[in-house]
Chain A
Amino acid sequence: MDKRVIFAVAGSGKTTHIVNSLSFEKRSLVITYSESNYNHLRRKIIEKFGYLPENITVQTYFTFLYSFCYKPFLHYAWRSKGINWDVPPAFTLRLRRTDRRFFIDGHSRLYSNRIAKLALDNVIDDVRARLEKYYDEFLLDEVQDFAGHDFNLLKEICRSDMDILLVGDFYQHTFDTSRDGPTNKNLFHDFTRYQKHFSDIDITVDKDTLSRSYRCSSSVCAFVMQSLGVNIESHKKEETGVYYLDGEKIFKKVFYDDNVVKLFFKEHSKYPCYSNNWGKSKGLDQYDDVCVVLYPKAFKAYTSGNFSKLPASSRNKLYVACTRANRSLYFMNEADIKDLKTR
């Protein structure tokens, strides 16, 4: 039985690694955190086999949580009517953890970040038995997005009698939707301690297999390693540039160039150009040249060559944005183009 967590870097072929490990011989359950990654993985599997084989199930984490863990075992007693995605009201944190109101709102909707706790406290044995009965291996992408109770549930699931493969990129932790009070609050503060969570429960920590990027050139990797402190190497031989765009003529040209995607910290749709947000660009691989637009504080950090003052989540999003580049990486100061804003 192999239980393993692979820490990968951006563009190192996480999805490909997972898809390659699938076959007709094993019953596999593949879980992704985000909807976009779910579609991506599903498409890749269909590309490999020509269709989605019956022995392979792909689900987003919340589908898994709701219809695999919650519904079969808890729905009869709890009778929920869907999921409430908002942060639970503060008073609920003072409730006993056995109180129905801790888990479910006035409209009978389960609080999304507490479903895992509900399952963990009541039916974890049933969940493991169901996994072992219907699957031979459990594969999970985007492990870095599991926080709060979800992370605790994941650890318990890993104790199931089956092969476990978790894949993720610690520095791409950008979603914080699973948080719940003090539960695993500091989980992502320190990479070394994060790894220990896995080794403590006998999961092999693998940092080699997916440590080199197929997407980013060695120049981009060098920049990321230097300024963001992420250990990333490249499979690519050729060098590409990392440039800062200065002068109105140049940044206007790039701004209106639809071959270069402009990645904003947020609200990219307010700019009339080919664009996206840093966080939302996670998992995307279709960009050649990327232009990262720096908001004032990030711009300051960039000029000083030190990003450590930025909040970790912003840093991680910046890492995501920079590593979208298949070719060149450009930077632009948001203040320079604020006049181009239309919406």
Chain B
Amino acid sequence: MKYIEKLKLFNFKRFDDFEYVAREKRNIFIGDNEAGKSTILQAIDLVLTGSRSRVENLGLETLFNQVSVLEFLNGDKKLSDLPRMAIEIFLNDHGEIWLDGKNNSDEVTCHGLKLVCEPMIDEYGQEIESALANEQALFPFEYYNIQFSTFSGQLYTQNRKFLNHIFIDSSLIGTEYATRQYTKSLYEANTSLVERHQNSHAYRHTKATFTSESLVTLNDALDATKFDLKNDGKSNLEQDLMITQGGIPVAQMGKGKQCFIKTEFALQQKEGARPIDLILIEEPENHLSHLNMKKLINEIEKATQTQIIIATHSNSVCSRLDLHNASLISPSKKDPVSLSDLPDDTASYFVKAPNNKILEFILSAKVILVEGDAEYMLVDGMYEKLYSEKLEDTNIHVISVGGTAFKRYLDLASLLKIKTAVTRDNDGNYQSNCVDNYAGYVGDSIQVFSETNNANRTTLEKCIYQDNTALCDELFAAGRRTLSVEDYMLSNKADAALTILDAGMDRLEAPDYIKQAFEWIRG
């Protein structure tokens, strides 16, 4: 098996200096929009494809780290300070001498490939210098060299495939280019070079037969000028190939279906065929229904010979494929944060648990965890009333979790240093439920807030009623026969919360422990 062990990026797009240690089987990148998840997949794809013209078509301007470019232009503009861009892919040792060597930034003997873009100072030093002398000088991308080489120091081109990989980019699904790329790589993965030559030859032969047999009558009637079939770069076997399912071209199917079929097909392990070593999947959830998503995840779980790298926004993708495989990419942190140190039982909890808010939680800087939907609505409302700003405009997220799951989220919070306030009912035993229970967690970034009165302030509803008796009576007393107002609020939590939100929020006094939670989380 061949797989990526490590990825290093230098001045590539958002990353000026980035390192990711990959896992042998599955790798999940989670992160906010623009965090750079897709950039990582693109970097890997570029190096493994080894196509100079791809890089040229994308343009160095778009690939180079803008900060470094600006820093250079605003500085002394010395030739020796010109930034270089590099992508290094460290591979596992699989006995391939052409990949083996010390030509990497770690200067360690190992397998690997890299793309380096450097200024050609020896060749064009003078030209670059005069281009930079200008007051409004632009960055001299024209004088940069694009070079693909292995860690043994050998150059390579797109003709040499060291790793068999497929990039399934759902944002490109449906475009002709992506379909062709995908078909081509799958075709190459499933055939040997000799087989491909044989097929191409047979295809030309078939065309020739068509000309000599079917076009013959037409051509016989003509003089020197005749009809024939094209055989060039735009009409050949690889251009004409397509993938079908049940006789229907996959390219004609819906995007979701395409994404699914493409991944599934790529994952098939044909007996004796060269396995696909690596599949890169970009946001598979974009076009997939929940059901297909589940099927896709099952397929991915079954693939054992293939390394998979997924960038996703989907709670189910990242939690069902085991959070241990996930890494958080965030603009604020230099390197990805791996979730591999998450306690095993917590990771398995998220694999099995029903719909969860895992990504929302992970991507937040500050979180207030509450017990249920009623609490969620009320906390939201109380915050807005107290601070006259909406929670969604702050960087504080309120997430409703079932009471028992608090600790699962707190495991994540301690690992990722997410500032987390837990607000909960004391349920009649403050010491045991709210203090002892979280003994290992509470610290600088985690605090638990609750009512200490074990007698009659055991839940949020009771506190609200006691602190706002007049308001609650006004809202709920009418029509009460058997239940007291307080009991009604307790047994119809969500409805009561909605009513308060609709009619009484501007007068509602928040319980002290909620206020304390707000103050702490804002600090």
Contact = CB atoms under 8 A, between A and B. Distances in A.
Interface of A: 67, 70-77, 81, 107-108, 126, 129-130, 133-134
Given A67-B152, A134-B97, A72 B122 contact: no
Given A72-B100, A75-B101, A134-B95, 10 more contacts: A67-B152, A71-B101, A71-B153, A72-B101, A72-B102, A72-B151, A72-B153, A74-B102, A108-B122, A133-B95
A76 B104 CA distance: 7
A108 B104 CA distance: 20
Contacts of B151: 72
Contacts of A70: 153
Interface in B129-177: 151-154
B86 to A, nearest CB: 12
Contact of A67 (B109, B122, B153): B153
Contacts of B306: none
B215 to A, nearest CB: 40
A81 B102 contact: no
B103 interface: yes
B154 A67 contact: yes
Nearest to A130: B100
Nearest to A57: B97
Looking at chain A's contact residues, the main secondary structure is helix
A73 B102 contact: yes
B154 A71 contact: yes
A126 B103 contact: no
Interface of B: 95, 97, 100-104, 107, 109, 122, 151-154
Contacts of B109: 72-73, 126, 129-130
11 contacts: A71-B152, A72-B102, A72-B151, A72-B153, A76-B102, A81-B122, A129-B109, A130-B109, A133-B100, A134-B97, A134-B100
Contacts of A81: 122
Contact of A76 (B95, B97, B107, B122): B107
B152 A72 contact: yes
B192 to A, nearest CB: 14
Contacts of B122: 81, 107-108
Contacts of B100: 72, 130, 133-134
Nearest to A71: B153
Contacts of B107: 76-77
B87 to A, nearest CB: 16
Contacts of A134: 95, 97, 100
B97 A73 contact: no
Contacts of B95: 133-134
Contacts of A107: 122
Contacts of A75: 101, 103, 153
Contacts of A130: 97, 100, 109
A292 B107 CA distance: 55
Nearest to B101: A72
Nearest to B102: A73
A130 B93 CA distance: 13
Contacts of A129: 109
Nearest to B100: A72
A274 B100 CA distance: 47
A326 B97 CA distance: 42
Nearest to B103: A76
